[in-house]
Amino acid sequence: MTALRLYDLPSLGDRLRNAQDMTRPLMLEIIDKACRRFPSLGQTERTARVMRLIDAEAWADAALALMELELPLWQVRRIAYDEGEWHCALSRERELPDWLDAAVEGCHGDLAIALLSAFVEVQALAAEASRPSVPTVRPAPDPFYEPVGCENFS
């Protein structure tokens, strides 16, 4: 994942929170900025299925298919509707009790946007975790350093 994409994920999350409802351009932007596997898979059956769901404007189904494709280790832990908002929690350990699980949650009035908000959050966490905390710098070789064997094998 490029550095540009790392900066795009938080702005993409903001864009999702501010969206009224899902649109084709917004879904394609999510695929472009938050998906690492989708573009590299070419036109496999799974990517073609996601595109068919987008063409049919089946946004929630497209979001679930995209999550299945991009986040094979994550599962939907909970989808709930409360006071006009959908709450979606994604988890790697769905069988753990809630208080032990580190689920990622997204919420919005539109189900597809709630699902994709959680998806983008997981992608941002994965991108952040893959970056080293300290930059790697290869030390310059010392011109006066010369390895010497000090064992006497005779």
Mean per-residue pLDDT, 54-76: 92
Please give the model's pTM, rounded to 2 decimal places: 0.73
Per the model's pLDDT, the better-predicted residue between 11 and 144 turns out to be 11
Query: Among 18-22, 106-110, 144-148, which stretch is predicted with the lowest mean pLDDT?
Result: 144-148
Give the per-residue pLDDT at 5. Answer: 47
Compute the 3-state secondary structure of the chain and give helix, strand, coil in percent, each to the nearest 5.
50, 15, 40
Mean pLDDT is lowest, of 55-69, 90-104, 121-135, for: 121-135
Question: Phi and psi (nearest 5°) for 85?
Answer: -130, 145
pLDDT at 129: 57
Give how far Cα 130 sits from Cα of 2, 29, 65, 127, 150, Å.
Answer: 11, 22, 24, 5, 41
Strands of the 104-108 sheet, one edge to the other: 75-82, 85-91, 104-108
The closest alpha carbon to 60, from 68, 142, 92, 147, belongs to: 68
Cβ-proximal residues to 105 (8 Å cutoff; 6+ apart), any chain: 87, 88, 89, 90, 118, 121
What's the pLDDT at 40?
A: 64
Tokens encoding 149? 């064997």
Q: Which residue has the tokens 């599962």?
A: 75
Res. 64 pLDDT band, cuts 50 70 90: very high
Give the tokens for residue 116: 């994709």
Comparing CA positions, the residue from 42, 39, 12 lying closest to residue 27 is 12
Q: Which residue has the higher pLDDT, 109 or 129?
A: 109
